[in-house]
Amino acid sequence: MSRLQVRSLTAADIPDAAILLARRHRAHRRDQPLLSPVYAEPDATATVLAEALAQPDASGALAVRGTDVVGFLLGAPKAAPSWGPNVWVEAAGQAVTYAEDIRDLYAFAAERWVAEGRTAHYVLAPASDTELVRSWFRLGFGHQHCHGLRALPTPDEVRAPRVVIRRAERADIPLLAELDLVLAQHQSLVPTFSAARVPELAETLKSWEDDFDDTDFATFVAEHEGRVVGSAIGCSLAKSGAHTTLARPDNAGFLGFAAVFPQARGLGVGRALGEAVGLWSAESGFSSYVTDWRVTNLLSSRAWPALGFAESFTRLHRLVGY
């Protein structure tokens, strides 16, 4: 086997990289057939890669063995301060012929990223590509987050809930605002330790007052013994900035939020709310539905797989220097 050569990724490399990415997506769809078939073709992946490389401060690496292009890696920063001084390798940001080569690609690309002061690195990888994920683990990355995907439920699949599920009303806004805080506070605790800021109750109240009538979102509440104990929100996956390009199934619904008051946990509230969003997705004409969760969140990382969501993408994270 010829020696691997690695250099900077340029716009001229996009056609070769697009072929690799389309091949990766075809393999991924054998495990997750609900993913979009559009990106199985290099013309579509070339468009995505051109857009990704045109982002501010985007950079990456290309791997060549002999005369064959065998891999690429492409990352760009996000402006949100909660991610730290970051670089993201999104769903379309990598493809390799040999999983081991991602380590050489990262070694080349990360030198620039760290020199620029970008020391928080995030990577989205196909969850079914265990060798690729293992190679990232061997670079010091850990498993941080999951994207989950499943077929739509049918009414006869849904368990009879132990709580009452209904659409939210304006009178529920104070409790909906509190539930926003419940999720944020839970994510900040052990063992998740999220750095995201927990908002003030006044902020979440105002947000609900301003946006409650937005018909693009369906809000459900769960009642137990006459009191609202949880809520969930469904919408089109197109509303999500975290599920894009190869990670966005066509015409999918999105379980974008769910929270349960601590005193009501153990009643099956989360499952009932998740199933309600699934049935709403089916009634709304979507073809599948998606959610995501922190793997360190002990509640959601058990609830959503138990509801039938299969991991489609794995988000990995490394903080350089510690």
Below-70 pLDDT ranges, the chain:
none
C-beta atoms surrounding 256 within 10 Å:
21
pLDDT of residue 239: 97
User: Residue 16: how many CB atoms within 10 A of its CB?
Assistant: 17
What's the confidence (pLDDT) of residue 68?
A: 97
**Last residue of some domain: 140, 170, 200?**
140
The pLDDT score that the predictor gives to residue 301 is 97
Instruction: Look up the domain containing 22 and give its range.
Output: 4-140
- Is residue 188 located within the same domain as residue 218? yes
Look at residues 253, 260, 298 and name the one whose alpha carbon lies nearest to residue 277: 253
The answer to whether position 316 is within a domain reads no
pLDDT at 158: 86
- CATH code of the domain in which 232 resides: 3.40.630.30
Residues 10 and 86 in one domain: yes
Question: What is residue 80's predicted lDDT score, i.e. its pLDDT?
Answer: 84
Domain assignment present for residue 208? The answer is: yes
- Among 140, 170, 188, the domain-final residue is 140
The 10s digit of each residue's pLDDT in 160-208 is 788 999 999 999 999 999 999 999 999 999 999 998 889 999 999 999 9
- pTM (2 decimals)? 0.95
Task: Please give the C-alpha separations between residue 17 and each of 12, 181, 233, 282, in angstroms, as whole numbers.
Answer: 10, 43, 37, 36
Domain shared by 63 and 116, yes or no: yes
Residue 306 in tokens: 């138990």
The tally of domains found in the chain comes to 2
The residue type found at 16 is D
* Residue 70 belongs to a domain: yes
Instruction: Output the pLDDT for position 157.
Output: 86
Among 78, 113, 140, the domain-final residue is 140
Element (H, E) at 134: helix 130-137
Q: What is the largest CA-CA distance in the chain?
A: 70
- Sign of torsion over alpha carbons 30, 34, 35, 40: positive
Based on the fold, state whether residues 132 and 161 are members of the same structural domain.
no
Same domain, residue pair 14 and 103 = yes
82 with 134, same domain: the answer is yes
CB 15 within 8 A of CB 47: no
Residue type for position 136 = W
Q: Provide the CB-side half-sphere exposure for 284 (13 A, CA).
A: 22
